[in-house]
């Protein structure tokens, strides 16, 4: 009998985290979507045919955080203790900035949950506006902060953190 | 009795497409993820602890296309006839380019399905590599081509199409 | 060999609809949730801790319509062409009325989709307000109209239809 | 740069529960569906074309409890330790009463899970019987009891609790 | 720029079926689960702690058919027109035989849906009985018949078809 | 008022596990699929039209483990700490052996998760190869080992355990 095709290196697995400690964990991800000037105006004036763009994007992002382990194959299914989404409109550059903050207490981090929340929110903005603007581009989806767990705190260079979330500075 | 809070403009809806015609539709989306040089090398050599990165990303993208209407609130649930994902490694710039092609026959386009496939594939690459590289950035997720439907063909300016997919030029 | 336990009458099945014709179908369902006077006021003033109640309920209802066949065991999975949700606040009686309109073109009706949309919207209102009001009651979830299909049009006695939806009287 | 559209009050969030204690929690919800006399008789005699109505409704309710956080946008995804569904047929008034009991150990209650279980069971009864009765009405979906958590025990006024569930009085 | 890692042969795809014709399609799958004599007796007498085994297995199988494309990565998501599950108890050999019949009208067959329905039903029987019997074995999951589509009718050698389903011989 | 149709014995429930202790738990399941000699060869040479068979099956199995409680009605939804899948090709008998190992820390075992992972992997192999081989048979899906929990260790008679998984003998 021969072991073939997927050797020890190439073999995919959902890595075992049973020996990791339960700690409070937080992840903050950011991204943005560039839209046409006229699209930005329609979003601000609530004129999109499908409805209020940012409300839908915000809810989609929160629900997206909960569905992360269904979409990302090797991602653990975890209990999320809180999700918060924020949007900033940069009218001058015609860009919508999106931030997702996800918290948990557990054995694995919530980086993927925060990144997925931002990504789903950006795609939802695209969907709500695509009837009038097909040239939108989603960019700069990145982890900007992570705390908790064995690897400790990560802060992406050059990012600013000046606002409150969940009632406390993060 | 008063109608409040969500006026006719602001009200969200899943727009009715029952009067649209069934046509063959295709959408091509692209995006990329910038990784560290050392990460690129580990991907190419199959040394990631979680397994072969691009295989998982490809399957995740295809499955993501099928889950689009669950993640994007106002998106119609549709029958997808085919999905194809491609990856190009630009070693010099340390960027992985991702392309998703989705086809259907129906009353609504598959732009969101193609964009979601690319987005899920990029997030999966992030997940597979994040133990060694947290600085990766997902960018330039965009629609590059769409055919079929009343609004006809859309081709994003400046994109190149030189390869085959589904056995025929697109 | 013996056939047991689930006889021909008792046996559950997803009934075959392959011989039914594809027709345009519409279903309208309604229901309501009774809340405390103080809860109604907080909803109107946007003071709930979890956020704007009716926006979330509306989106939840639309997404609920798409998930109907996952929740209702013998329900066919179908392509929905459109969903629209409306809310009316009866301040005097402290009741929020919910209406869901679902359309499709196909072999089975969308009664369950409309009823589920209303039910999910009502439960979402409960969830958004339960921190301040646990006595809310969801009632009168019912089909009020259905068109299309072999059994034809059904209009529930005593219901009023005076508003527009999807751009045309229904 | 301007923060717009969704101000601090209106912004939706999944509220952070990371600082809440893990406690044993229970929720009991009830509701009912009014059916035609002839429908009640067909249910009792197992004559519905789709199969045994109450068996399907019971299983649907239990599975519904597990899917609650997918349907209700701001609801936390949690580990449910047990679910029990009961049905009472009031032949005289032609009403089926439904009760759902859900238990967990965790940081958030299971009120929504119990309410969703009852709601899904009622909708399933509607689905199983709608070929012969479109006038059915689902009503009085309400929380009747809740224990555990910081807010402690809630018992709805006027409800009776005389039966056993999970092997112990609740 | 180099195309790597997943060459044209190895690359996974959801094969395009847009050019296939819509035809009526049927698939019949079978399988079985071998249980202990005492387990068989408990199933027949309805003594399992979790409830009536075959009712739950039947509903699980039908719902499983609808979830096939979520579980099998390259499987198309399709509209199923009908599902029927049957169980036969072979007391002598202590085996429960399971049959799943799935129908559709469309561009791809329902072989996977029928096989998945049988598989989920068998696993559900395992789950319902595992407290008293961990030695059960699920075997012989196979396609026994398929009609419709370009490749036409397939009948597995040695299988018997003597019963009715969906009101007509298959 | 009469309690009918589903008596205390027949009534299905998701059994309460709230009083069970949190322990480390592991389950190992195995199964196999018999294929034609020519199919085995095509799998080994990577010539299937849909792509590399075992890679897809492996990822499908891991994702299947996470979806178990959605497919098996009375199964608790749990946090899985790790999943590992292995495939062995027995060329002589033309059989692919599949093994799934699932771990958790919690109040219920992961037997169903391991069995479902194996089952989904086997069905995926069927799906990837069915264009060239409809006679494949899935068999011998069984629990081979389980540790943790009140009932302790179970090892199926006659099974061999000679390999490593998750970095330690199991």
Q: In the A/C pair of chains, how many CB contacts fall below 8 A?
A: 9
Contact C156, C142 (CB under 8 A): yes
C112 in a labelled binding site: yes
What pLDDT does residue C45 have? 87
Q: Mark E42-81 as b/e (b = at least 16 C-beta within 10 Å).
A: bbeebebebbbbbbbbbbbbbbbbbbbbbbbbbbbbbbbb
Interface contact flag, A122 B141, Cβ < 8 Å: yes
Domain covering B23-154, topology? Alpha-Beta Plaits (3.30.70)
E53: three-class secondary structure by DSSP: helix
List CB contacts of E106: < 8 A, sequence separation 6 or more. B79, E22, E23, E25, E78, E79
Q: Residue C92 burial (CB < 10 Å; 0-12/13-18/19+)? A: exposed
Residue to mutate among F81, F97, F103, F120, with most A CBs inside 10 A, is F81
Chain B adjacent subunits, 3+ CB pairs under 8 A = A, C, E, F
How long is chain A?
170
Contact C117, C62 (CB under 8 A): yes
The pLDDT profile of chain D, 170 residues, written as one tens digit per residue, is 333 334 455 678 899 999 998 999 999 999 999 999 999 999 988 888 777 899 999 999 999 999 999 999 999 999 999 999 999 999 999 999 999 999 999 999 999 999 999 999 999 999 999 999 999 999 999 999 999 998 899 999 999 886 544 544 44
How long is chain C?
170
Residue appearing with tokens 């068989």: E40
What pLDDT does residue C46 have? 81
| B79: β partners | none
CA distance B18 to F34: 46
| pLDDT above 60 (res A164) | no
CA distance B96 to D71: 35
Q: Mark A105-144 as b/e (b = at least 16 C-beta within 10 Å).
A: bbbbbbbbbbbbbbbbbbbbbbbbbbeebbebbbbbbbbb
CA distance F60 to F58: 5
Determine which of A13-27, A59-73, C152-166, F112-126 has the lowest per-residue pLDDT on average. C152-166
What pLDDT does residue B49 have? 78
What are C86's two structure tokens?
């409306």
CA distance A51 to C168: 18
Q: How far is CA D25 from the centre of its chain?
A: 15
F14 in a labelled binding site: no
Interface contact flag, F73 E59, Cβ < 8 Å: yes
B128 in a labelled binding site: no
Distance from CA of B81 to the nearest CA of E (A): 5
Q: E152 or F34: which carries more pLDDT confidence?
A: F34
DSSP class of residue B71 equals: H
Residue appearing with tokens 């997927």: A6
Closest Cβ opposite residue D4 in set A44, A65, A80:
A44
Q: Residue D32 burial (CB < 10 Å; 0-12/13-18/19+)? A: buried
Residue to mutate among C46, C110, C115, with most D CBs inside 10 A, is C115
| D169: β partners | D164
Closest Cβ opposite residue F13 in set D79, D83, D91:
D83
What is the pLDDT confidence band of residue E88, given thresholds at 50, 70 and 90? very high
Contact B52, A12 (CB under 8 A): yes
Q: B143 or E12: which carries more pLDDT confidence?
A: B143
| F86: β partners | F99
Of E78, A72, E68, the residue nearest B104 (C-alpha) = E78
A11-A16-A20 Cα angle (round to 5): 150
pLDDT (mean) for C101-124: 97
Question: Rounded mean pLDDT of chain F?
Answer: 89
What are the E-state strand segments in D13-136?
23-34, 80-90, 95-106
Contact B75, B68 (CB under 8 A): yes
Distance from CA of A22 to the nearest CA of F (A): 11
| B86: β partners | B99
pLDDT (mean) for C1-29: 75
Q: Which helix (H) or strand (E) holds F55?
A: helix F53-66
Distance from CA of E113 to the nearest CA of B (A): 15
Q: How far is CA F38 from the centre of its chain?
A: 26
Instruction: Mark out chain A residues that contact chain C at CB-CB < 8 A.
Output: 52, 55-56, 59, 63
CA distance B55 to B38: 19
Contact E30, E99 (CB under 8 A): yes
| pLDDT above 60 (res F5) | no
Distance from CA of A124 to the nearest CA of B (A): 6
| F99: β partners | F30, F86
Nearest CA in chain C to B107: C81
Contact A119, D30 (CB under 8 A): no
Q: Mark A29-38 as b/e (b = at least 16 C-beta within 10 Å).
A: bbbbbbbeee
What pLDDT does residue E47 have? 80
CA distance C43 to C57: 12
CA distance B29 to A30: 21
Closest Cβ opposite residue C84 in set B5, B13, B70:
B13
What is the pLDDT confidence band of residue C48, given thresholds at 50, 70 and 90? confident
Partners of E63 on chain D (C-beta within 8 Å) are 63
3-state secondary structure C16-61: CCCCCCCEEEEEEEEEEEECCHHHHHHHHCCCCCCCCHHHHHHHHH
Of F79, D37, E18, the residue nearest A69 (C-alpha) = F79
Interface contact flag, A71 B67, Cβ < 8 Å: yes
Q: What kind of architecture, by CATH, is found in domain F23-149? A: 2-Layer Sandwich (3.30)
CA distance F121 to F37: 20
Nearest CA in chain C to B75: C63
pLDDT per residue over E129-151, tens digit each? Answer: 999 999 999 999 999 999 999 88
What are E66's two structure tokens?
């609808």
| pLDDT above 60 (res A56) | yes
The superfamily CATH assigns to domain C23-148 is Molybdopterin cofactor biosynthesis C (MoaC) domain (3.30.70.640)
| pLDDT above 90 (res F141) | yes
Q: B22 or A167: which carries more pLDDT confidence?
A: B22
CA distance D54 to D61: 10
Catalytically annotated residues of F: 127
C32 in a labelled binding site: no
What pLDDT does residue A163 have? 54
Distance from CA of A25 to the nearest CA of B (A): 16
CA distance B93 to E169: 63
What pLDDT does residue C169 have? 46
B150: three-class secondary structure by DSSP: coil
The superfamily CATH assigns to domain E23-150 is Molybdopterin cofactor biosynthesis C (MoaC) domain (3.30.70.640)
Partners of D59 on chain E (C-beta within 8 Å) are 55-56, 59
The superfamily CATH assigns to domain A23-151 is Molybdopterin cofactor biosynthesis C (MoaC) domain (3.30.70.640)
Can you spell out the DSSP letters for F80-122? EEEEEEEEEEETTTTEEEEEEEEEEEESS--HHHHHHHHHHHH
D112 in a labelled binding site: yes
What is the pLDDT confidence band of residue A151, given thresholds at 50, 70 and 90? confident
| pLDDT above 70 (res F164) | no
pLDDT per residue over A94-139, tens digit each? Answer: 999 999 999 999 999 999 999 999 999 999 999 999 999 999 999 9
Q: E50 or B52: which carries more pLDDT confidence?
A: B52
What are A69's two structure tokens?
């382990």
**Residues in chain B, pLDDT under 70:** 1-10, 162-170
Interface contact flag, F13 E116, Cβ < 8 Å: no
A72-A76-A79 Cα angle (round to 5): 115
DSSP class of residue F2 equals: B
D115: three-class secondary structure by DSSP: helix
pLDDT (mean) for C62-81: 96
Can you spell out the DSSP letters for A96-124? EEEEEEEEEEESS--HHHHHHHHHHHHHH
Q: In the A/B pair of chains, how many CB contacts fall below 8 A?
A: 147
Interface contact flag, E56 D59, Cβ < 8 Å: yes
How long is chain B?
170
Contact A106, A148 (CB under 8 A): no
Closest Cβ opposite residue D16 in set A66, A82, A90:
A82
What pLDDT does residue C162 have? 62
């Amino acid at each position: 009998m021969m072991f073939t095709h997927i050797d020890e290196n190439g073999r995919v697995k959902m890595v075992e985290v049973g020996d990791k400690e339960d700690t409070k964990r937080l992840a903050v991800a950011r991204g943005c979507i560039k839209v046409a000037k006229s699209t930005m105006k329609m979003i601000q004036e609530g004129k999109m045919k499908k409805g209020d763009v940012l409300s839908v994007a915000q809810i989609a992002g929160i629900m997206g955080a909960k569905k992360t382990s269904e979409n990302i194959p090797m991602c653990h299914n975890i209990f999320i203790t809180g999700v918060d989404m924020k949007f900033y409109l940069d009218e001058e550059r015609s860009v919508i900035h999106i931030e997702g903050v996800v918290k948990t207490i557990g054995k694995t981090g919530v980086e993927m949950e925060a990144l997925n929340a931002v990504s789903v929110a950006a795609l939802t903005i695209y969907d709500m506006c695509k009837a009038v603007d097909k040239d939108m581009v989603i960019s700069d989806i990145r982890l900007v902060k992570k705390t908790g767990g064995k690897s400790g705190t990560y802060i992406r260079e050059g990012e600013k953190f000046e606002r409150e979330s969940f009632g406390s500075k993060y």
